[in-house]
Amino acid sequence: MWSLQNIKAVFAVVGLVGVLLFAWPSLGLIVHLPYGERFSELYILGPGHMASDYPFNVSAGVDYLVYVGVGNHLGSSTYYEWNVKFLNKTEPLPNGTAATPSPLPRLYGYRVFLGDNETREDVLTFSFLNVTSAENITRVGDLTINGAIYNVDKSCAWDPVYNGTYSRLLVELWLYNASLEPFAYHNRFVDLILNMTIGS
């Protein structure tokens, strides 16, 4: 037989559980449970808005088009900047272990403000100007990015193993951080490997 005190305890527990179940939708507005993994995404799509048909064998004076996508899954609105750099085969990529960007100068930058779980894709067009080839060296004088011309004066040597003259168009993701600097490298990058074996 249950005592009066045991019955009161059972009613108290059942009543508390009922109140919590009834109040659960409202508690969701006040109590924020931990989110899953928070991250940012950065990607490049080809001219058909697919992960295919990327420019590879490129020539001087031809316009190429890709889409750069940024996704925000950090749990709050975020201000991003993606920066474009141009590298030859011997120049350093960003260091993922040290979370440092490539030391090469930024040529082009684009800023975008995204809400949580928002993704945006923007056009990146590029072409090469003043390209010369001599003695297994291809020299790129200028790079056009979204209509602006940048002097790069970059030499790319012939690679006998892969039979081509390779360079990289690098896109780094930076994140606004007022406590450190206006924008800090966010340890995300993507790149296009380009083969320019024919000068103009």
Please name every residue paired with 176 in a beta bridge, in sequence order, or none if there are none.
183
Q: Which domain holds residue 16?
A: 1-33
**27 in the same domain as 78:** no
pLDDT at 179: 74
Q: Do 64 and 139 share a structural domain?
A: yes
Instruction: Please tell me the predicted confidence (pLDDT) of residue 23.
Output: 61
Give the count of domains, the chain: 2
pLDDT per residue rounded down to tens, the chain (200 residues): 666 676 666 556 556 555 555 665 654 555 544 556 899 999 999 999 999 999 999 999 999 999 999 999 999 999 999 999 999 999 999 999 999 999 999 999 999 999 999 999 999 999 999 999 998 999 999 999 999 999 999 999 999 998 999 999 999 999 998 776 789 999 999 999 999 875 43
pLDDT of residue 200: 39
CA distances from 16 to 95, 103, 109, 119 (A): 54, 60, 56, 42
Asked if residue 200 is part of any domain, the answer here is no
- Among 101, 64, 103, 68, which residue's Cα sits nearest to residue 196? 64
Cα 73 to Cα 195: distance, rounded to the nearest angstrom: 34
79, burial (CB in 10 Å: exposed 0-12, middle 13-18, buried 19+): middle
Tokens 């950065």 belong to residue: 42
Indicate whether 135 and 171 sit together in one domain: yes
Calpha distance 57→94 (Å, rounded): 24
Residue 105's CATH number: 2.60.40.10
Q: What pLDDT, on a 0 to 100 scale, did the predictor assign at position 182?
A: 86
